[in-house]
Amino acid sequence: MPPKGHAILSASSADRWLHCPPSARLSESFADTSSDYAAEGTEAHALCEFRLKEALGIPADDPTGNMKFYSAEMEDCAGDYVQYILEQLGSVKQSCYDPEILIEQRVNFSRWVPNGFGTADCILIADGTLKIIDYKHGRGLEVSAEENPQMMCYALGALELFDALYDIETVSMTIFQPRRDNISTYTISKDALYRWAEEVLHPAAELAYAGEGEFRCGSWCVFCKAKIHCRARAEANLPMAKHEFRLPPVLQDEEIEKLLGSLDSLLDWAADLKEYALRKALDGKVWHGWKLVEGRSIRRYTDEAAAAKVVTDAGFDPYEKKILGITAMQKRLGKSRFEELLSGYIEKPEGKPTLVPESDKRPAIKNAKHDFMEEM
Protein backbone atom coordinates (compact mmCIF):
# COMPACT_ATOMS: atom_id res chain seq x y z
CA MET A 1 0.00 0.00 0.00
CA PRO A 2 1.22 3.58 -0.58
CA PRO A 3 2.66 5.45 2.37
CA LYS A 4 0.28 7.66 4.28
CA GLY A 5 0.54 11.43 4.39
CA HIS A 6 -1.24 14.65 3.55
CA ALA A 7 -0.01 17.29 1.14
CA ILE A 8 -1.67 20.70 1.14
CA LEU A 9 -0.87 20.95 -2.56
CA SER A 10 -1.34 17.34 -3.58
CA ALA A 11 -0.87 16.12 -7.13
CA SER A 12 -4.40 14.69 -7.15
CA SER A 13 -5.89 18.14 -6.45
CA ALA A 14 -3.51 20.06 -8.73
CA ASP A 15 -6.16 20.74 -11.36
CA ARG A 16 -8.17 22.60 -8.71
CA TRP A 17 -5.45 24.68 -7.05
CA LEU A 18 -3.85 25.54 -10.39
CA HIS A 19 -7.13 27.10 -11.53
CA CYS A 20 -8.19 28.39 -8.09
CA PRO A 21 -5.07 28.89 -5.92
CA PRO A 22 -6.77 30.09 -2.68
CA SER A 23 -9.00 26.99 -2.61
CA ALA A 24 -6.09 24.98 -1.17
CA ARG A 25 -6.02 26.92 2.10
CA LEU A 26 -9.78 27.45 2.16
CA SER A 27 -10.31 23.68 2.02
CA GLU A 28 -8.23 23.21 5.18
CA SER A 29 -11.10 24.59 7.27
CA PHE A 30 -13.44 21.81 6.11
CA ALA A 31 -13.34 18.24 7.38
CA ASP A 32 -12.39 15.40 5.11
CA THR A 33 -15.36 13.35 3.95
CA SER A 34 -15.34 9.81 2.68
CA SER A 35 -17.67 7.84 0.43
CA ASP A 36 -18.17 4.26 -0.65
CA TYR A 37 -16.87 5.25 -4.08
CA ALA A 38 -13.60 6.48 -2.60
CA ALA A 39 -13.30 3.40 -0.38
CA GLU A 40 -13.94 1.12 -3.36
CA GLY A 41 -11.28 2.98 -5.35
CA THR A 42 -8.76 2.57 -2.54
CA GLU A 43 -9.41 -1.17 -2.40
CA ALA A 44 -9.14 -1.46 -6.20
CA HIS A 45 -5.71 0.22 -6.06
CA ALA A 46 -4.61 -2.19 -3.34
CA LEU A 47 -5.72 -5.14 -5.48
CA CYS A 48 -3.94 -3.75 -8.55
CA GLU A 49 -0.76 -3.32 -6.53
CA PHE A 50 -0.96 -6.89 -5.20
CA ARG A 51 -1.71 -8.49 -8.58
CA LEU A 52 1.07 -6.56 -10.30
CA LYS A 53 3.62 -7.52 -7.67
CA GLU A 54 2.39 -11.11 -7.87
CA ALA A 55 2.89 -11.12 -11.65
CA LEU A 56 6.41 -9.72 -11.25
CA GLY A 57 7.35 -12.18 -8.51
CA ILE A 58 7.52 -9.53 -5.79
CA PRO A 59 6.35 -10.74 -2.36
CA ALA A 60 3.13 -9.04 -1.22
CA ASP A 61 0.21 -9.74 1.10
CA ASP A 62 -3.14 -10.61 -0.48
CA PRO A 63 -5.56 -7.82 0.60
CA THR A 64 -8.80 -9.43 -0.61
CA GLY A 65 -9.70 -11.00 2.74
CA ASN A 66 -10.13 -7.57 4.31
CA MET A 67 -11.95 -5.94 1.42
CA LYS A 68 -15.54 -4.73 1.65
CA PHE A 69 -16.04 -4.05 -2.07
CA TYR A 70 -14.07 -6.92 -3.60
CA SER A 71 -15.86 -8.40 -6.62
CA ALA A 72 -15.28 -10.33 -9.82
CA GLU A 73 -15.44 -7.04 -11.71
CA MET A 74 -12.69 -5.54 -9.55
CA GLU A 75 -10.59 -8.65 -10.14
CA ASP A 76 -11.11 -8.34 -13.91
CA CYS A 77 -10.13 -4.67 -13.81
CA ALA A 78 -6.97 -5.46 -11.88
CA GLY A 79 -6.15 -8.22 -14.34
CA ASP A 80 -6.54 -5.85 -17.29
CA TYR A 81 -4.32 -3.30 -15.53
CA VAL A 82 -1.60 -5.89 -14.89
CA GLN A 83 -1.75 -7.08 -18.49
CA TYR A 84 -1.35 -3.51 -19.73
CA ILE A 85 1.66 -2.90 -17.48
CA LEU A 86 3.31 -6.14 -18.60
CA GLU A 87 2.77 -5.15 -22.24
CA GLN A 88 4.40 -1.77 -21.59
CA LEU A 89 7.28 -3.44 -19.76
CA GLY A 90 7.84 -5.81 -22.66
CA SER A 91 7.83 -2.88 -25.06
CA VAL A 92 10.53 -0.88 -23.22
CA LYS A 93 12.67 -4.01 -22.83
CA GLN A 94 13.12 -4.01 -26.59
CA SER A 95 15.25 -0.88 -26.32
CA CYS A 96 16.56 -1.13 -22.75
CA TYR A 97 18.11 -4.23 -21.19
CA ASP A 98 17.35 -3.31 -17.59
CA PRO A 99 14.31 -1.02 -17.30
CA GLU A 100 13.22 0.07 -13.84
CA ILE A 101 9.66 -0.54 -12.66
CA LEU A 102 8.29 1.00 -9.47
CA ILE A 103 4.90 0.28 -7.94
CA GLU A 104 3.08 2.74 -5.66
CA GLN A 105 6.17 4.93 -5.61
CA ARG A 106 6.27 8.07 -3.45
CA VAL A 107 7.55 10.97 -5.56
CA ASN A 108 8.60 14.45 -4.49
CA PHE A 109 8.13 17.52 -6.69
CA SER A 110 8.75 20.12 -3.98
CA ARG A 111 11.26 21.93 -6.21
CA TRP A 112 8.20 23.51 -7.84
CA VAL A 113 5.42 22.91 -5.29
CA PRO A 114 5.96 23.66 -1.57
CA ASN A 115 5.96 20.32 0.27
CA GLY A 116 4.71 18.71 -2.91
CA PHE A 117 4.63 14.94 -2.98
CA GLY A 118 2.37 12.14 -4.14
CA THR A 119 2.22 8.45 -4.97
CA ALA A 120 2.46 7.20 -8.54
CA ASP A 121 0.72 3.88 -9.23
CA CYS A 122 3.37 2.66 -11.66
CA ILE A 123 6.57 4.14 -13.09
CA LEU A 124 8.60 2.60 -15.91
CA ILE A 125 12.03 4.03 -16.63
CA ALA A 126 14.29 3.10 -19.52
CA ASP A 127 16.93 4.89 -21.55
CA GLY A 128 15.22 7.79 -23.26
CA THR A 129 11.76 7.06 -21.89
CA LEU A 130 9.82 7.68 -18.68
CA LYS A 131 6.32 6.19 -18.44
CA ILE A 132 3.83 7.11 -15.72
CA ILE A 133 0.70 4.93 -15.49
CA ASP A 134 -2.18 5.80 -13.19
CA TYR A 135 -5.13 3.53 -12.45
CA LYS A 136 -8.59 5.07 -12.14
CA HIS A 137 -11.41 2.82 -10.89
CA GLY A 138 -14.25 5.32 -11.25
CA ARG A 139 -16.91 4.80 -13.90
CA GLY A 140 -18.50 8.27 -13.60
CA LEU A 141 -16.11 10.82 -15.04
CA GLU A 142 -13.80 9.84 -17.88
CA VAL A 143 -10.31 11.08 -17.05
CA SER A 144 -7.97 12.33 -19.77
CA ALA A 145 -4.19 12.18 -19.56
CA GLU A 146 -3.72 15.17 -21.88
CA GLU A 147 -2.01 17.97 -19.96
CA ASN A 148 -3.26 16.31 -16.77
CA PRO A 149 -1.53 18.21 -13.92
CA GLN A 150 -1.66 15.26 -11.52
CA MET A 151 0.24 13.10 -13.98
CA MET A 152 2.66 15.91 -14.84
CA CYS A 153 3.46 16.38 -11.15
CA TYR A 154 4.12 12.65 -10.81
CA ALA A 155 6.39 12.82 -13.86
CA LEU A 156 8.34 15.71 -12.37
CA GLY A 157 8.79 13.73 -9.16
CA ALA A 158 9.99 10.71 -11.11
CA LEU A 159 12.47 12.87 -13.02
CA GLU A 160 13.84 14.09 -9.70
CA LEU A 161 14.65 10.47 -8.87
CA PHE A 162 15.87 9.14 -12.20
CA ASP A 163 16.81 11.94 -14.60
CA ALA A 164 20.45 11.74 -13.51
CA LEU A 165 20.54 7.95 -13.89
CA TYR A 166 18.80 7.56 -17.24
CA ASP A 167 19.10 9.63 -20.38
CA ILE A 168 15.41 10.57 -20.42
CA GLU A 169 14.14 12.64 -23.33
CA THR A 170 10.43 11.81 -23.52
CA VAL A 171 7.76 11.48 -20.84
CA SER A 172 4.63 9.40 -21.49
CA MET A 173 1.67 9.59 -19.10
CA THR A 174 -1.24 7.14 -19.24
CA ILE A 175 -4.59 7.01 -17.48
CA PHE A 176 -5.88 3.42 -17.30
CA GLN A 177 -9.63 3.49 -16.55
CA PRO A 178 -11.06 0.04 -17.35
CA ARG A 179 -14.64 0.61 -16.24
CA ARG A 180 -14.90 3.35 -18.85
CA ASP A 181 -12.86 1.43 -21.47
CA ASN A 182 -10.56 4.42 -21.34
CA ILE A 183 -6.81 4.28 -21.94
CA SER A 184 -5.63 7.85 -22.42
CA THR A 185 -1.98 8.67 -23.10
CA TYR A 186 -0.23 12.03 -23.32
CA THR A 187 3.39 12.40 -24.40
CA ILE A 188 5.58 15.44 -23.83
CA SER A 189 9.29 16.16 -24.07
CA LYS A 190 11.22 16.46 -20.84
CA ASP A 191 12.20 20.04 -21.70
CA ALA A 192 8.58 21.06 -22.31
CA LEU A 193 7.55 19.49 -19.01
CA TYR A 194 10.23 21.44 -17.18
CA ARG A 195 9.06 24.68 -18.88
CA TRP A 196 5.50 24.02 -17.71
CA ALA A 197 6.78 23.41 -14.20
CA GLU A 198 8.64 26.74 -14.12
CA GLU A 199 6.14 28.91 -15.99
CA VAL A 200 2.76 27.50 -14.85
CA LEU A 201 3.08 25.10 -11.93
CA HIS A 202 5.53 26.94 -9.69
CA PRO A 203 3.86 30.41 -9.77
CA ALA A 204 0.39 28.93 -9.07
CA ALA A 205 1.77 26.72 -6.30
CA GLU A 206 3.37 29.69 -4.56
CA LEU A 207 0.05 31.54 -4.60
CA ALA A 208 -1.87 28.48 -3.43
CA TYR A 209 0.50 27.73 -0.57
CA ALA A 210 0.20 31.33 0.63
CA GLY A 211 -3.59 31.26 0.32
CA GLU A 212 -3.45 34.02 -2.26
CA GLY A 213 -4.69 34.46 -5.80
CA GLU A 214 -8.16 34.68 -7.30
CA PHE A 215 -11.06 32.35 -6.56
CA ARG A 216 -12.36 30.83 -9.77
CA CYS A 217 -15.07 28.21 -10.22
CA GLY A 218 -15.27 25.58 -12.91
CA SER A 219 -15.14 21.84 -13.49
CA TRP A 220 -12.30 21.61 -10.96
CA CYS A 221 -14.76 22.43 -8.14
CA VAL A 222 -16.24 18.91 -8.19
CA PHE A 223 -13.95 17.47 -5.48
CA CYS A 224 -13.35 20.69 -3.53
CA LYS A 225 -14.25 20.36 0.16
CA ALA A 226 -15.36 24.01 0.24
CA LYS A 227 -17.62 23.86 -2.83
CA ILE A 228 -20.92 24.04 -0.90
CA HIS A 229 -19.99 27.17 1.06
CA CYS A 230 -17.75 28.85 -1.52
CA ARG A 231 -19.00 32.40 -2.09
CA ALA A 232 -17.19 32.72 -5.42
CA ARG A 233 -19.02 29.69 -6.75
CA ALA A 234 -22.35 31.04 -5.52
CA GLU A 235 -21.71 34.46 -7.04
CA ALA A 236 -20.82 32.84 -10.35
CA ASN A 237 -24.04 30.81 -10.43
CA LEU A 238 -26.59 33.12 -8.80
CA PRO A 239 -26.89 35.46 -11.82
CA MET A 240 -27.80 32.42 -13.88
CA ALA A 241 -30.21 31.18 -11.21
CA LYS A 242 -31.88 34.61 -11.08
CA HIS A 243 -32.27 34.82 -14.84
CA GLU A 244 -35.87 35.52 -15.78
CA PHE A 245 -36.59 32.63 -18.13
CA ARG A 246 -39.23 33.19 -20.79
CA LEU A 247 -40.50 30.94 -23.53
CA PRO A 248 -37.67 30.24 -26.01
CA PRO A 249 -39.30 32.30 -28.82
CA VAL A 250 -38.91 35.43 -26.65
CA LEU A 251 -35.19 34.86 -26.09
CA GLN A 252 -32.65 35.87 -28.68
CA ASP A 253 -30.37 33.12 -30.02
CA GLU A 254 -27.38 34.95 -28.55
CA GLU A 255 -29.00 34.78 -25.10
CA ILE A 256 -29.64 31.05 -25.47
CA GLU A 257 -25.99 30.48 -26.46
CA LYS A 258 -24.85 32.30 -23.35
CA LEU A 259 -27.23 30.34 -21.13
CA LEU A 260 -26.14 26.99 -22.60
CA GLY A 261 -22.58 27.62 -21.47
CA SER A 262 -23.71 28.09 -17.86
CA LEU A 263 -26.32 25.37 -17.43
CA ASP A 264 -24.03 22.49 -16.44
CA SER A 265 -22.28 24.59 -13.82
CA LEU A 266 -25.61 25.81 -12.44
CA LEU A 267 -27.06 22.31 -12.27
CA ASP A 268 -23.96 20.94 -10.53
CA TRP A 269 -24.06 23.76 -7.98
CA ALA A 270 -27.79 23.27 -7.36
CA ALA A 271 -27.31 19.50 -6.91
CA ASP A 272 -24.49 20.10 -4.41
CA LEU A 273 -26.69 22.48 -2.39
CA LYS A 274 -29.61 20.03 -2.35
CA GLU A 275 -27.36 17.17 -1.27
CA TYR A 276 -25.87 19.28 1.54
CA ALA A 277 -29.32 20.42 2.75
CA LEU A 278 -30.61 16.82 2.78
CA ARG A 279 -27.56 15.58 4.67
CA LYS A 280 -27.97 18.29 7.31
CA ALA A 281 -31.71 17.58 7.61
CA LEU A 282 -30.95 13.90 8.22
CA ASP A 283 -28.60 15.04 10.99
CA GLY A 284 -31.48 16.92 12.63
CA LYS A 285 -31.36 20.43 11.16
CA VAL A 286 -34.75 22.00 10.45
CA TRP A 287 -34.86 24.05 7.26
CA HIS A 288 -37.69 26.58 7.49
CA GLY A 289 -40.32 25.84 4.86
CA TRP A 290 -38.99 22.34 4.20
CA LYS A 291 -39.56 18.88 5.70
CA LEU A 292 -38.24 15.35 5.34
CA VAL A 293 -40.62 12.81 3.79
CA GLU A 294 -40.28 9.23 2.65
CA GLY A 295 -39.39 9.02 -1.00
CA ARG A 296 -40.75 6.65 -3.62
CA SER A 297 -39.64 3.05 -3.22
CA ILE A 298 -39.82 -0.04 -5.41
CA ARG A 299 -41.11 -3.44 -4.30
CA ARG A 300 -38.50 -6.18 -3.93
CA TYR A 301 -38.25 -9.79 -2.80
CA THR A 302 -37.07 -10.37 0.74
CA ASP A 303 -35.55 -13.70 -0.34
CA GLU A 304 -35.19 -14.27 -4.10
CA ALA A 305 -34.19 -17.93 -3.78
CA ALA A 306 -37.18 -18.74 -1.56
CA ALA A 307 -39.57 -16.83 -3.84
CA ALA A 308 -38.23 -18.68 -6.90
CA LYS A 309 -38.73 -22.04 -5.16
CA VAL A 310 -42.34 -21.24 -4.25
CA VAL A 311 -43.13 -20.29 -7.85
CA THR A 312 -41.31 -23.37 -9.22
CA ASP A 313 -43.19 -25.66 -6.84
CA ALA A 314 -46.42 -24.10 -8.11
CA GLY A 315 -45.52 -25.22 -11.64
CA PHE A 316 -44.28 -21.95 -13.09
CA ASP A 317 -40.88 -20.84 -14.39
CA PRO A 318 -39.76 -17.84 -12.28
CA TYR A 319 -36.78 -16.92 -14.45
CA GLU A 320 -36.35 -14.89 -17.58
CA LYS A 321 -33.59 -15.84 -20.03
CA LYS A 322 -31.49 -13.05 -21.42
CA ILE A 323 -28.22 -13.03 -23.33
CA LEU A 324 -25.24 -11.59 -21.50
CA GLY A 325 -24.37 -7.98 -22.24
CA ILE A 326 -21.43 -7.37 -24.58
CA THR A 327 -18.98 -6.44 -21.82
CA ALA A 328 -19.97 -9.43 -19.66
CA MET A 329 -19.83 -11.76 -22.69
CA GLN A 330 -16.34 -10.54 -23.61
CA LYS A 331 -15.13 -11.15 -20.07
CA ARG A 332 -16.60 -14.68 -20.12
CA LEU A 333 -15.16 -15.66 -23.51
CA GLY A 334 -11.93 -13.70 -23.42
CA LYS A 335 -11.10 -10.99 -25.95
CA SER A 336 -9.68 -13.21 -28.70
CA ARG A 337 -12.43 -15.83 -28.52
CA PHE A 338 -15.06 -13.09 -28.33
CA GLU A 339 -13.73 -11.53 -31.55
CA GLU A 340 -13.55 -14.93 -33.25
CA LEU A 341 -17.12 -15.90 -32.43
CA LEU A 342 -19.08 -12.67 -32.30
CA SER A 343 -17.35 -9.94 -34.32
CA GLY A 344 -19.87 -10.41 -37.13
CA TYR A 345 -22.79 -9.98 -34.73
CA ILE A 346 -21.72 -6.74 -33.08
CA GLU A 347 -22.63 -3.27 -34.23
CA LYS A 348 -22.19 0.15 -32.72
CA PRO A 349 -25.19 2.30 -33.64
CA GLU A 350 -24.93 6.05 -33.87
CA GLY A 351 -25.26 7.79 -30.53
CA LYS A 352 -28.09 10.15 -29.73
CA PRO A 353 -27.20 13.70 -30.86
CA THR A 354 -25.89 15.77 -27.98
CA LEU A 355 -25.12 19.49 -27.89
CA VAL A 356 -21.64 20.14 -26.45
CA PRO A 357 -19.17 23.07 -26.42
CA GLU A 358 -16.90 23.52 -29.45
CA SER A 359 -13.93 22.53 -27.25
CA ASP A 360 -15.25 18.94 -27.17
CA LYS A 361 -12.94 16.70 -29.24
CA ARG A 362 -15.68 14.66 -30.88
CA PRO A 363 -16.30 15.52 -34.55
CA ALA A 364 -19.43 17.51 -35.35
CA ILE A 365 -22.28 15.68 -37.07
CA LYS A 366 -24.31 17.08 -39.92
CA ASN A 367 -28.01 16.53 -40.38
CA ALA A 368 -29.91 16.47 -43.66
CA LYS A 369 -30.80 20.16 -43.38
CA HIS A 370 -27.13 21.12 -43.08
CA ASP A 371 -26.25 19.04 -46.15
CA PHE A 372 -29.08 20.65 -48.14
CA MET A 373 -27.98 24.16 -47.18
CA GLU A 374 -24.36 23.44 -48.18
CA GLU A 375 -25.48 22.24 -51.62
CA MET A 376 -27.46 25.40 -52.30
* pLDDT at 93 (0 to 100): 82
* pLDDT at 245 (0 to 100): 53
* pLDDT at 250 (0 to 100): 62
Say if residues 139 and 156 touch (Cβ distance below 8 Å).
no
Residue 2 has pLDDT above 50, yes or no: no
* pLDDT at 240 (0 to 100): 59
Residue 135 has pLDDT above 70, yes or no: yes
* pLDDT at 258 (0 to 100): 72
CA 193 from chain center: how many Å?
22
Q: Using one digit for the tens of pLDDT, what is the confidence trace for 62-85?
A: 999 889 999 989 999 999 999 999
Q: Delimit the domains of the chain by residue range.
A: 14-210, 228-282, 304-345
Q: Using one digit for the tens of pLDDT, what is the confidence trace for 144-187?
A: 999 999 999 999 999 998 887 888 899 999 999 998 889 999 99
When pLDDT is averaged across residues 213-242 and rounded to a whole number, the result is: 77
* pLDDT at 234 (0 to 100): 76
Residue, of 28 and 81, whose pLDDT is higher: 81
* pLDDT at 367 (0 to 100): 64
pLDDT band at 241 (very low <50, low <70, confident <90, very high): low
